[in-house]
Structure 1
Amino acid sequence: MVRIGTGVMGVLAGMVAGLLLSAAPVARAQDRDVVRCGSEDGRFSRCQVPWRDAELIRQESDSACVRGQTWGVDRGGLWVDRGCRGQFVEMERDGGWHGGGGWQGGGRPHDDDWRPGPDWDREIRLQCESNDHEYHFCQVDVGGRGYARLMRQLSGSACEEGYSWGWNRAGVWVSKGCRGLFSVNRRW
Structure 2
Amino acid sequence: MRAIGGWVVGVVLVGLASGLLGLASPVRAQSNAPVRCVSNDGHYARCAVPWRYVELYKQESKAACVRGESWGVDRGTLWVDRGCRGLFGPADRGGHGDRHDARGGWRPGPGWDRQISLQCDSNKKKYQMCQVDVGRNGRVRLGRQLSDARCTEGYSWGWNRAGVWVAHGCRGQFLVDRRW
Specify every segment of 5 or more residues in structure 2 that has no aligned partner in the other structure, as ranges: 1-29
Q: What SS is found at the alignment partner of 2:138?
A: strand
Give the number of aligned pairs: 136
Residue 156 of structure 1 and its aligned partner are, at CA, apart by 4.2
- Show the counterpart of 2:165: 174
Match of residue 21 from structure 2: none
For residues 18-58 of structure 1, what are the alpha-carbon distances to aligned partners after superposition, in whole Å with 9 as ceiling and x for unaligned? xxxxxxxxxxxx932643322222x2413154654311123
In the superposition, relative to structure 1, how do residues 127 and 110 fare at CA in structure 2: closer, same or farther (>3 Å)? same
Aligned to 1:82: 82
- C-alpha distance in 1 between matches for 2:101 and 2:119: 31
Q: Give the corresponding residue for 2:117.
A: 126
Which of 1 and 2 has greater Rg?
2
> Would you say 1:137 and 2:136 are equivalent positions?
no
Contact map agreement 2:68 2:108 (CA 8 A) in 1: no
- Cα RMSD, aligned residues only: 4.2
Residues 39, 175 of structure 1: CA spacing in aligned structure 2 closer, same or farther, 3 A cutoff?
farther
1:186 aligns with 2:179: yes
Deviation readout 1:155-181 (Å, 9 max, x if unpaired) = 746644xx952115xxx3435567663
- Work out the CA distance in 1 between the residues paired with 2:150 and 2:52: 40
Of stretches 56-65 and 70-79 in structure 1, the one that deviates more from structure 2 is: 70-79
- Could you tell me how far apart the structure 2 residues matched to 1:135 and 1:63 are? 14
Deviations 1:107-147 (A, max 9, x none): 532266x9966xx586625345253323221357x4xxx51
From the superposition, tell whether residues 45 and 157 of structure 1 become closer, same or farther in structure 2 (CA, over 3 Å). farther
TM-score, normalization by structure 2: 0.50
Whole-angstrom distance in 1 between the partners of 2:140 and 2:76: 21
Name structure 1 gaps, 5 residues minimum.
1-29, 97-102
Change (3 A) 1:176 1:59: farther
Q: Distance in 2 between matches of 1:48 and 1:56?
A: 13
Counterpart-to-counterpart distance in 1, 2:113 and 2:83: 30
Query: How far apart are the structure 2 equivalents of 1:90 and 1:182?
Result: 37
- Matching residue's letter, 1:135: M
Q: How high is the TM-score relative to the length of structure 1?
A: 0.49
Pair 1:130–1:35, CA change in 2 (3 A): farther
**How far apart are 1:62 and its partner, in Å?**
2.7
Percent identity of paired positions between Structure 1 and Structure 2: 35
1:45 matched to which residue of 2?
Answer: 44
**Contact persistence 2:122–2:128 (CA under 8 A):** yes
Aligned residue for 2:58, secondary structure, equals: strand
